[in-house]
Amino acid sequence: MTMRQDILTIEDVKLLVDRFYEKIRVDELLGPIFNERIQNRWPEHLEKMYCFWQTVLLAEHTYFGSPFPPHAQLPVGHEHFLKWMELFVPTVDELFTGEKQQKQNGVPQNDRNV
């Protein structure tokens, strides 16, 4: 059995992002919102999200975008945010353990962080 460890490398970040969006894409509430907006741009979106989480988790600054504007246009509210967290936190926990895994449970803390 492979031992879980912390989120330490870009390979770890890619594993997390890939696994998370596999769940998002088939989720009844969030899947249609993502799929409708992203359509055939999933490879680009995943690349962008690798950079975003690489910046947040590994402090390797490869994301230079602004997350807020794209979300301001979306039909999302508190329930969507809660669902996002409900999918994200267990994905981190099932793959990793350690300081960064712990930190992820509190990030992001509310809708205003998007």
- Alpha helix ranges (H) inside the chain: 10-26, 31-38, 42-58, 68-72, 78-95, 99-104
Query: Among all chains, which residue has been given the structure tokens 């879980």?
Result: 4
Closer residue to ligand HEM, CB minimum distance, 15 or 46: 46
Q: Examine residue 76 and tell whether it contacts ligand HEM (CB under 6 A).
A: yes
Q: Examine residue 34 and tell whether it contacts ligand HEM (CB under 6 A).
A: yes
Min separation Cβ 110 and ligand HEM, Å: 9
CA–CA separation, 56 vs 62, rounded Å? Answer: 10
Min separation Cβ 41 and ligand HEM, Å: 7
Q: Examine residue 70 and tell whether it contacts ligand HEM (CB under 6 A).
A: yes
